[in-house]
């Protein structure tokens, strides 16, 4: 498939094909020119023999009178070996014919003799036009001839000289041309492959740089985008260099854009952290003063009491919100967690006990393994994950809902799954894809009334991701499951977190 060829192969094949075409043209022209030249020479030779056949020029020394119709000219006077001569009788029909041949004779060495033409040989010559022009004729058994009709003093003759010398010369030339062309093409293919490979090396370097960049994690965090095409491959004077230079310019822009994004993210995060810090103290003051006023000596009226209750509850809610925002800002900034080997079972037992105390109208169940499920985690943060998931199962479901907290170790003992299931009404389908996003809430008005902010699952997601785990949710009416997957620590718990009480299995 041509489309699948590499640029290198295509360039080399094109160059070799071009050279092959040029070599073929040169070879053909050379062969044709040589053929014309050799035929010319043969025709001159033919003229000489024909002249001798027709009769010697006046006064030629040693020419001697010859009997009319004699065929001796085929073996004498420099006629080439294989010369043929045929008498033409007065009525135009063919008379005797002879061809010169070489005969081996032991005593005298090779000798040129003539022998009579066979019927087939004479028949082949009979058709030659009698127009005094040389014609090419194939004589069976003797090969191709240049044959001419020549009348003269000795009578009329058909005289022919063999073309086998011409054919063998042309044949040798064609063989040499083909061999030289084949060797040249092979050499051109090899040299072309090497040269094109060297010429394309900068392009490969540019591609390698682009590949390395594409493998960098650019989507978040501080990105060290220091990959660049080497200076030697970014010379704008060459085609490949222009690609390299353009890629480098693009990488500079991407780097500065990512840097700007990171800076603005850091600023926002810092702002949220600072604002959270600053808000903590006034919020604590508001709560404190509200409580002081409520418990003061002067008994407030019912309206004031109600207002103070509202001030206290809203201040408490706002404190929770500020704490959540601070935690998210810290997790976003990649603050290190306090990792310890932590057994999940006691953690789950404690969290469910607390949840049962907070939601006595729900049915709380535990489903724990017999062996410890030890993970490398920050126990406080994991506790928060559990608290958030259990709080959701409590606050977003009606009383009487059964909530099950389960811990399962995967079959290959490489991971552990922490599940919180409930048979409540489920998460609205429109919300499900965004449920882990910040400030994503179901029924906004109801949730706000219930003091919800929509940060609970965002914190779950951030904490689990910081632990290198994953969290998923599936939800249909009557069956909502949050699954947190974490890596299991193999072997003994070691410094396992066992501070939590065993708790009661509910």
* Residues lying near ligand ATP in the complex (CB under 6 A): 388, 392-393, 396-397, 422, 424, 426-427, 431, 435, 440-442, 447, 452-458, 480
Query: Which residue is it, tokens 């030659």?
Result: 128
Proportion of the chain in helix, strand, coil states, percent, rounded to 5: 50, 15, 30
As measured in angstroms, the least distance from the Cβ of 327 to ligand ATP is 11
Identify which of residues 72 and 438 has a Cβ nearer to ligand ATP in the complex: 438
The partner in contact with residue 100, picked from Mg ion, ligand ATP, none with C-beta cut-offs of 5 to 8 angstroms by kind, is: none
Burial 266-298 (b: 16+ CB within 10 A, else e): eeebeebbeebeebeeebeebbeebeebeeeee
Give the nearest distance from C-beta 439 to ligand ATP in angstroms. Answer: 8
CB of 460 to ligand ATP, least distance (A): 7
- Among residues 346 and 456, whose Cβ is nearest to Mg ion? 456
User: Using CA atoms in the order 220, 226, 228, 232, what is the torsion angle rounded to 10 degrees?
Assistant: 180
Give the range of 92-100, 180-188, 389-397, 423-431 binding Mg ion by CB under 5 A.
389-397
Cβ neighbors of 82 (< 8 A, separation 6 or more) are: 99, 100, 101, 142, 143, 161, 162, 164
Q: Which stretch binds Mg ion (CB under 5 A): 216-224, 235-243, 308-316, 391-399?
A: 391-399
The entry of ligand ATP, Mg ion, none that residue 440 binds, CB within 5 to 8 Å by partner kind: ligand ATP
Q: Please identify, using beta-carbon distances, which residue of 51 and 453 lies nearer to Mg ion.
A: 453
In the list Mg ion, ligand ATP, none, the entry touching 454 (Cβ below 5 to 8 angstroms by class) is ligand ATP
Q: Give 16 or 328: the residue with its C-beta nearer to Mg ion.
A: 328
For residue 154, give the 3-state DSSP assignment: coil
Q: Counting contacts by CB under 5 A, is residue 392 touching Mg ion?
A: yes
Q: Between 202 and 456, name the residue whose CB sits nearer to Mg ion.
A: 456
Look at the block and give the residue holding tokens 């299995």. 505
From 181-189, 355-363, 387-395, 416-424, give the range in contact with Mg ion by CB under 5 A. 387-395
Q: Pick the closer one to ligand ATP by CB: 291 or 323.
A: 323
Q: How many amino acids of this chain bind Mg ion (CB under 5 A)?
A: 2
The 3-class secondary structure across 81-96, one letter per residue, is CCCEEEEECCCCCEEE
Minimum distance between the CB of residue 352 and ligand ATP, rounded to whole angstroms? 14
CB of residue 339 to ligand ATP, shortest distance in Å: 25
Pairing of strands 415-422, 143-150: unpaired
From the list 382, 359, 344, the residue with the least C-alpha distance to 506 is: 359
Number of H helices, E strands in the chain: 9, 13
Q: Is the Cβ of residue 189 or residue 320 nearer to Mg ion in the bound state?
A: 320
- Please give the residues from 455 up to 494 whose contact with Mg ion meets the rule CB under 5 A: 456
CB 476 within 8 A of CB 462: no
Put residue 68 in one of left, alpha, beta given phi > 0 → left and psi -120 to 50 → alpha: beta
Q: Helix (H, G, I), strand (E, B), or coil: what is residue 455? A: coil
Our CB check for ligand ATP shows the closer of 11 and 459 to be 459
**Which listed range, 321-329, 392-400, 468-476, 492-500, lies at the site for Mg ion (CB under 5 A)?**
392-400
Of 271 and 439, nearer to Mg ion (C-beta) is 439
Nearest partner of 494 among 337, 336, 339, judged by Cα: 339
Provide φ and ψ at 298, rounded to 5°: -75, 125
Contacting range for Mg ion; rule: CB under 5 A; set: 40-48, 143-151, 386-394, 471-479: 386-394
Interatomic CA distance for residues 62 and 60, integer angstroms: 6
Determine contact, residues 227/251, Cβ cutoff 8 Å.
yes
Q: How far is the CB of 502 from ligand ATP (least distance, A)?
A: 26
Q: Enumerate binding residues for Mg ion (CB under 5 A).
A: 392, 456
């Amino acid at each position: 498939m041509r489309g699948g060829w590499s640029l290198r192969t295509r360039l080399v094949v094109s160059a070799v094909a071009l050279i092959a075409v040029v070599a073929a043209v040169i070879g053909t022209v050379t062969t044709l020119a040589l053929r014309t030249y050799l035929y010319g020479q043969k025709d001159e030779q033919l003229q000489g023999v024909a002249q001798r056949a027709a009769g010697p020029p006046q006064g030629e020394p040693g020419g001697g009178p010859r009997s009319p119709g004699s065929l001796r000219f085929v073996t004498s006077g420099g006629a080439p070996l294989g010369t043929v001569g045929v008498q033409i009788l007065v009525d135009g029909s063919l008379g005797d014919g002879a061809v010169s041949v070489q005969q081996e004779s032991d005593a005298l060495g090779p000798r040129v003799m003539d022998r009579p033409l066979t019927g087939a040989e004479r028949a082949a010559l009979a058709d030659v036009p009698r127009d005094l022009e040389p014609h090419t004729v194939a004589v069976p058994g003797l090969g191709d001839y240049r044959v001419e009709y020549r009348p003269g003093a000795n009578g009329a003759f058909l005289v022919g000289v063999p073309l086998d010398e011409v054919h063998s010369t042309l044949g040798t030339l064609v063989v040499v041309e083909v061999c030289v062309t084949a060797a040249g093409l092979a050499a051109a293919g090899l040299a072309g492959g090497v040269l094109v490979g060297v010429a394309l090396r900068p392009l490969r370097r540019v591609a390698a740089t682009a590949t390395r960049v594409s493998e960098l994690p650019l989507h978040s965090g501080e990105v060290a985008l220091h990959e660049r095409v080497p200076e030697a491959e970014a010379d704008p004077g060459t085609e490949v260099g222009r690609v390299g230079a353009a890629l480098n310019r693009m990488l500079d822009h991407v780097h500065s854009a990512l840097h700007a994004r990171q800076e603005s993210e850091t600023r926002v995060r810092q702002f949220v952290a600072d604002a959270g810090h600053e808000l903590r103290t006034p919020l604590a003051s508001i709560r404190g003063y509200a409580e002081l006023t409520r418990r003061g000596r002067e008994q407030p009226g019912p309206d004031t009491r109600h207002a103070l209750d509202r001030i206290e509850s809203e201040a408490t809610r706002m404190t929770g919100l500020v704490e959540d925002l601070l935690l998210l800002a810290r997790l976003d900034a990649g603050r290190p967690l306090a990792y310890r080997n932590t057994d999940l079972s006691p953690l789950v037992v404690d969290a469910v006990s607390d949840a049962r105390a907070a939601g006595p109208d729900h049915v709380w169940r535990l489903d724990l393994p017999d062996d410890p499920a030890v993970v490398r985690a920050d126990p406080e943060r994991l506790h928060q994950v559990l608290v958030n998931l259990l709080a959701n199962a409590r606050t977003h479901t009606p009383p009487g809902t059964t909530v099950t907290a389960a811990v399962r170790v995967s079959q290959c003992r490489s991971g552990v799954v922490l599940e919180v299931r409930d048979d409540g009404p489920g998460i609205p389908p429109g919300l499900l894809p965004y449920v882990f996003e910040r400030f994503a809430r179901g029924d906004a008005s109801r949730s706000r009334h219930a003091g919800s902010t929509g940060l609970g699952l965002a914190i779950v997601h951030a904490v689990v991701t910081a632990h290198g785990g994953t969290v998923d949710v599936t939800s249909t009416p009557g069956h909502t499951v949050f699954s947190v997957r974490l890596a299991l620590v193999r072997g003994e718990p070691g410094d396992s977190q066992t501070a939590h009480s065993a708790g009661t299995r509910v």
